[in-house]
Amino acid sequence: MSRHISKSKSKALYLYKNAAAVGIQKLSLSAAQLRTSATRASCTDSEEISEGEDWYASHIIQDKDLLRKSLHNSGTGLHVLDLVNRGSLEADRTLYNKLLNRCTQMGRLQQARIVHAHILTSHFKDDLPIHNTILNMYVKCGSLEDARNLFDQMPCKDLVTWTALISGYSQYDRPQDALVLFPQMLLRGLEPNQFTLSSLFKAAGAVSDDNNKHGRQLHAYCLKYGFDTNVYVGTSLVDMYARWGHMDESQLIFDSLETKNEVSWNALIAGHARKAQGEHALRLLGKMLREGFKPTHFTYSSVFTACASAGSMEQGKWVHAHMIKSGAKLVAFVGNTLLDMYAKSGSIEDARKVFDRLVRQDIVSWNSMLTGYAQHGLGQETVQRFEELLRIGIQPNDITFLCVLTACSHAGLLDEGQYYFDLMKSYNIEPQISHYVTIVDLLGRAGLLDRAEKFIREMPIEPTAAVWGALLGACRMHKNIDLGAYAAERVFELDPHDSGPHVLLSNIYASAGRLSDAARVRKLMKDCGVKKEPACSWVEIENAVHMFVANDDAHPQRVEILHMWETISGKIKEIGYVPDTSHVLFFVDQQEREVKLQYHSEKLALAFALLNTTPGSTIRIKKNIRVCGDCHSAIKYVSKVEGREIIVRDTNRFHHFRDGSCSCRDYW
């Protein structure tokens, strides 16, 4: 043993030796690890204790009550074990439970292992309840390995033992491990209770293979034994079906619950939020309120997420106001979704306000804000904020870098983008495939197609369809047919069912006049059963979201909309708008192309908004695919002739049209 260790540290080592004597080496820790942890624990755990032997000299405690009170100090109170070792205190069940609970609450794994070691030296070494508590402690400290080792070593296990481990696996994203334990448990003659089942449903919700066999079987078991009336079990069922995306079943189970609470509502609302069903989530919030339940942070967080994906700012604002009135603090978990909602529904200013008002910003707050700036085309702002983040010493993560790289790509900041890509190493972040995609995009957009291709060839990881897809997109932008065709072939090989690359390649050929090649790609696409997603646009007016599809002739205001577009079209042609028909399929004639162009969904949405909003107000449109070049050009002119700010959100980013130009500087 090291001679450099102080006397107080050697006491911890004594503890370790004791433990080793009764077979602690069976634990997952090596002797060296345990020695280190014991030493460290004794040094760092009890800040209130002065260094070394002095403390023991001045604290010879005879009074056991006084000693127990020392457990109320901060820290895990581990030092009392030294007094046990000295014989001045008897370690009883209560003492061990207090120590174990303290380690659990504070999540202190090293200390937890020491207490465990000590217990093995005591006459509780075969005590089942104590060992269940230890197992739970390891789970709560996040060490499934320690928990599993203990579980395997325990000669006697009861339902609590099995349930604690099952819940551990389901909490720490190891659903399969949780699920396989269940039949093993049944084989040993143990029957699950509501605790076991709710953990199992949580696990089953995280896997969705084989027609969700596990979850459905468990559900049947649960009905058979009548556990479904328990609110925990019922809620975990609602959640399980919602995670599979089966919202109808989720709703049915929810409706059948005799007892509901906030958590049940939250599970259902979160399900709709994950499916981007904003309207549904909002309706449920209204219902929840009418039925007298108080929304929690979880509720608000899900509803804001739903509003963000729907881009419904007005509704989101209403919920925000409701949250303020309820007196809830703006903690990061909710605030991040709120700021994301503002950013995604078009108001970067409001997003910034939320960011500034957060009780404390975490890395997700920063990432959301950076994403917001990037999507709004504020490349310089993103870079500046990113630099600020580094300056104040916040550790960026892989998403942070992805945000800043995307911003550089969208804003054409070539040098900065490459610099930040290299900078990732200094922060010990290994670039993921998405970072490589962004760099290909960055180089490609800047027209450096050969460099982009070279970059792909030299990648240390295998390029995916997304990587080649980025090159293909750049080839479309810069009209490079040969490289585009090559990149498209790579994409087809890697991901034959995506319609995007087929459409892109077909368009590359079409715009170069190679109509037969374009037709061949379209045919290939058809033959493979690849379907193009129909284009849609949405516009929110007075709390209602209106949807438009291209050539929509079923809309009740169809005549007015078309009339409005004709008027607008005339006005913008007067100031220089020329329809760019290269964005329309090649097999229609010129006149027909112009007509088809006129009825792109974003134009219909725009005309509708002009008809139904007050002059001068901002118009916000959302699109499910990228805005086409002709619409982009037309909307720029409309913003000028109508004196309107028009904000279009497509799948990639925002376009802020104002006074004849767009924030993306025609670069998207």
Site for DNA in 366-395 (CB under 7 A): 367-368, 371, 374-375
Q: Which is nearer to DNA, 37 or 104 (CB)?
A: 104
Q: How far is the CB of 527 from DNA (least distance, A)?
A: 27
Q: Is 506 in the site for DNA (CB under 7 A)?
A: no
Q: Does 143 bind DNA (CB under 7 A)?
A: no
In whole angstroms, the minimum distance from the beta carbon of 199 to DNA comes to 5
Question: Which residue in the set 143, 230, 251, 537 belongs to the binding site for DNA (CB under 7 A)?
Answer: 230
- Within 8 A by CB and 6+ apart from 84, the residues are 90, 91, 95, 118
Closer CB to DNA, 395 or 551, in the complex: 395
Q: Of 31-39, 111-119, 208-216, 298-306, which part binds DNA (CB under 7 A)?
A: 298-306
The closest of 614, 623, 665, 616 to 639, measured between CA atoms, is: 616
C-alpha dihedral sign at 96, 98, 99, 103: positive
Cα distances (angstroms) measured from residue 172 to each of 29, 34, 206, 503: 21, 24, 11, 41
The 10 Å Cβ neighbour count of residue 42 is 25
Q: Which stretch binds DNA (CB under 7 A): 56-64, 234-242, 571-579, 632-640?
A: 234-242
d(CA 16, CA 38): 7
Cβ within 8 Å of residue 149, ≥6 positions away: 26, 27, 28
Which residue number, 133 or 633, has a Cβ lying nearer to DNA?
133
d(CA 634, CA 351): 29
CB of 507 to DNA, least distance (A): 20
Residues 317 to 346 in contact with DNA, rule: CB under 7 A? 331-334, 336-337, 340
Least distance CB 192 / DNA (angstroms): 9
Q: Binding segment for DNA among 113-121, 155-163, 284-292, 376-384 (CB under 7 A)?
A: 155-163
The region of 118-126, 228-236, 490-498, 571-579 touching DNA under the rule CB under 7 A is: 228-236
267 binding DNA? (CB under 7 A): yes
Residue closer to DNA (CB basis): 276 or 588: 276
DSSP 547: E
Q: How far is the CB of 113 from DNA (least distance, A)?
A: 18
281 or 561, CB closer to DNA?
281
The first and second tokens of residue 244, run together, are: 């599979």
Among 28, 171, 208, 499, binds DNA (CB under 7 A): 171
Helix (H, G, I), strand (E, B) or coil at 8: helix
Binding-site member from 46, 212, 250, 301 for DNA (CB under 7 A): 301
Q: Does 250 bind DNA (CB under 7 A)?
A: no
Does position 251 interact with DNA (CB under 7 A)? The reply is no
Which position has the token pair 């901002």?
618
Cite the DSSP H helix spans in 141-230.
Answer: 144-153, 159-171, 175-187, 194-206, 213-224
Could you tell me the two tokens for 559? 């005549």
Q: Is 451 in the site for DNA (CB under 7 A)?
A: no
Compute the least distance from the CB of residue 193 to DNA, in Å.
6
* Least distance CB 266 / DNA (angstroms): 4
- Find the binder of DNA among 76, 121, 212, 305 (CB under 7 A): 305
**In sequence order, what DSSP letters do the residues of 107-129 get, joined into one string?**
T-HHHHHHHHHHHHTSTTTT-HH
Residues 82-111 close enough to bind DNA by CB under 7 A = 97
> What is the footprint of DNA within residues 195-214 (CB under 7 A)?
195-196, 198-199, 201-202, 205
> Does residue 598 interact with DNA by CB under 7 A?
no
Q: Report d(CA 110, CA 572) in Å as an integer.
A: 71
Q: Of the two residues 94 and 661, which places its CB atom closer to DNA in the complex? A: 94
Q: How far apart are CA 5 and CA 21, in angstroms?
A: 21
We find the least distance from the C-beta atom of residue 126 to DNA, in angstroms, to be: 13
Q: Determine the Cα–Cα distance for residues 603 and 597; give it in Å rounded to an integer.
A: 9
Identify the residue among 159, 390, 481, 545 touching DNA (CB under 7 A): 159
The strand pair at 646-649 and 619-623 is best described as: parallel
Task: Decide: is 363 part of the binding site for DNA (CB under 7 A).
Answer: yes
Size of the site for DNA (CB under 7 A): 75
Shortest distance (Å) from residue 60 CB to DNA = 30
In the block, which residue shows the tokens 């974003």? 602
Contact 103, 111 (CB under 8 A): yes
Residue of 424, 510, 427, 494 lying closest to 462 (CA atoms): 494
Among 46, 76, 170, 480, binds DNA (CB under 7 A): 170
46 or 375: whose CB is closer to DNA? 375
In sequence order, which residues have a C-beta less than 8 Å from that of residue 305 and are 6 or more positions away? Answer: 273, 274, 337, 340, 341
Cα 278 to the chain's mean position, in Å?
A: 17
Question: Which one of 38, 466, 503, 646 is in contact with DNA (CB under 7 A)?
Answer: 466
